[in-house]
Structure 1
Amino acid sequence: MHTKNSLIKDIEQAGIRKNGTLLIHSSMKAVGVVEGGADTVLDAFIEYMKEGLLLFPTHSWSDKNLRNDIYDPKTEPSCVGVLPNLFMKREGAIRSMHPTHSVTAMGDRAQAYVLRDREVHTPCPRNGCFGGLYDEEAQLLFLGATLKTNTFIHSIEEWLNVPDRINPQSRKIKLQLENGDTQEIDYNGHYSTRGDVSKNYDKLLLPMLQMGIAKEVKIGDAVSYVVEVRPMTDWVVGLLKEKPSLFDDGKPIE
């Protein structure tokens, strides 16, 4: 059985920078049996990253989310797993105002960081919280998760205006503000005639492992991957400029 201390040891051995910025895509099931369950997993990461900035995606893009087209960061459930839903309820955790692709942050810089999502009208704009990961020279941890969950690639495609990624039809969403007021925005979400292109993002893994941009680690029972955001971005930008349709299919990168 894994414990908080054993998980902290695994996190340290994974090469995660404790005073850096870390965003975690997660599968709690993959971590295995943990004394204290999912809360202990969060305890381990929160303690390890106490001098840095810890982020979980707390997305709410599913068909079951945003009932009546209202986003309230205090009550809207996340559609991306157990750990994000527990993390956003922790004391000191601050959720961003993005209606579909929010992040929840913890750390001394959390409040300032989530303000990047103050004015968003698309899933992953350059000036938003996902864009900020590049500026932060952040690390991504895929904790028992595949790179199909790599939201940051959506970001790069959006910044480069890759065709057939953003829905040309907008919807009106009301944001529930902390002061009790609401703010209505026009929002253009993800859409592609190719379907869910994120299922093809995992073809990046093998080349990134070979180049040292990513490395395979184990945390608890979870086979996981630590990815450096800045070199990944610089490489993928070059690929997409040469071939914007790169992720339209699952063909390996040549």
Structure 2
Amino acid sequence: MHTKESLMKQLEELKIKKEGTLLVHSSYKSLGVVEGGPDTVLDALSEYMKDGLLVLPTHTWEYINKDNPVFDVKNSPTNVGILTELFRKREGVIRSEHPTHSVAALGKDAEAFVAGEYKHETPCARESVYGKLVDRHAQVLLLGVDFKRNTYIHGVEEWIDIPERVTDTHEQLFSILHTGEKVEVPSRRHYGLSWSEHFWKVEELLMEEGSLYKGKLGDATVLVDDAAKTTELLTELLQANPDLFSDNEPLEEKWRTFFHKK
């Protein structure tokens, strides 16, 4: 059985930077049996990162749309797992106000990190929290989930304007802010096809280039991603091959050796 102490020891073994920024995408059930359940996992992450910034996605893209357009930062449940739903309700945690791609943050600079997210018209704008992950040289912990769940990679494609990733037209969404004010948020959405299902293609390449590595937390296999280095590598690769994630086929050999030839 895993405990808060054993999980914290594993986080240290994973070389998670205690004073840095950590974004966690998670599958709670992948951890196995944890004494105290999901709250223990959040206790371990929160205590380990007490001198840094802990961030979990609290997305609502699955059900906030033109037919159900109102996001309430205090009350709208997440659609990305039990750890995220419990985390957003914790004391001291601050949730951002983007209607579909909010995050919740705890710790150093949390309020500044999440401020003004409702002002962005796309899910992963460069000025949003997803761009800030890169600027802060954050680590992304993919806990029991694979690279397909790594949201900011959508941002990388958005920032270099890969075609057909976000709609040209806007949906009229709304956010109810922490102040209680209801604001309009005209939103360009991701296209229906989930390009993220193709992100697995670059896992091995990123491991070879040193921006991604594997480890364990509880019973779960985890990936630890260097957001800045991965962004640098994928930006270069996508500029050379904009269709990189347009199919679900394994990476062609010429792209596997792309960086080796330079």
Question: TM class, shorter-chain normalised?
Answer: over 0.9
Partner of 2:127: 127
Partner of 2:205: 207
Question: How much does 1:65 deviate?
Answer: 6.9
Partner of 1:216: 214
Matched residue SS, 1:238: helix
Question: How much does 1:206 deviate?
Answer: 0.8
Partner of 2:226: 228
Q: Give the number of equivalent residue pairs.
A: 252
Partner of 1:251: 249
1:237 aligns with 2:235: yes
Q: Is the contact made by 2:59 and 2:103 (CA closer than 8 Å) also made in structure 1?
A: yes
Letter in 1 for 2:71: Y
Q: Deviations over 1:4-38 (max 9, x none)?
A: 00000011100100000000000001001000000
Q: Give matches, 1:169-188, under 5 Å.
A: 169-188=169-188
Question: How much does 1:180 deviate?
Answer: 2.3
Question: How much does 1:116 deviate?
Answer: 4.8
Letter in 1 for 2:235: V
Q: Give matches, 1:56-67, under 5 Å.
A: 56-63=56-63
Q: Give matches, 1:99-178, under 5 Å.
A: 99-178=99-178
2-side partners of 1:174 and 1:48: how far apart?
35
Q: Is the contact made by 2:173 and 2:184 (CA closer than 8 Å) also made in structure 1?
A: yes
Q: Is the contact made by 1:215 and 1:226 (CA closer than 8 Å) also made in structure 2?
A: yes
Q: Is the contact made by 1:208 and 1:214 (CA closer than 8 Å) also made in structure 2?
A: yes
Matched residue SS, 1:247: coil
Matched residue SS, 2:101: coil
TM-score (norm 2): 0.93
How much identity, in percent, do the aligned residues show? 44
Letter in 2 for 1:144: G
2-side partners of 1:233 and 1:88: how far apart?
27
Q: Is the contact made by 1:66 and 1:76 (CA closer than 8 Å) also made in structure 2?
A: no
TM-score (norm 1): 0.96
Identify if the C-alpha distance between structure 1 residues 64 and 166 changes in structure 2 by more than 3 Å, giving closer, same or farther. Answer: closer
Partner of 1:196: 194
Q: Deviations over 1:148-206 (max 9, x none)?
A: 101111000111111011112311112112222211121111015xx211100011111
Unaligned residue ranges in structure 2 (runs of 5+): 256-262
1-side partners of 2:175 and 2:24: how far apart?
25
Question: How much does 1:109 deviate?
Answer: 0.6
Partner of 1:88: 88
Identify if the C-alpha distance between structure 1 residues 97 and 66 changes in structure 2 by more than 3 Å, giving closer, same or farther. Answer: farther
Q: Is the contact made by 1:116 and 1:127 (CA closer than 8 Å) also made in structure 2?
A: no
Unaligned residue ranges in structure 1 (runs of 5+): none
Q: Is the contact made by 1:60 and 1:66 (CA closer than 8 Å) also made in structure 2?
A: no
1:21 aligns with 2:21: yes
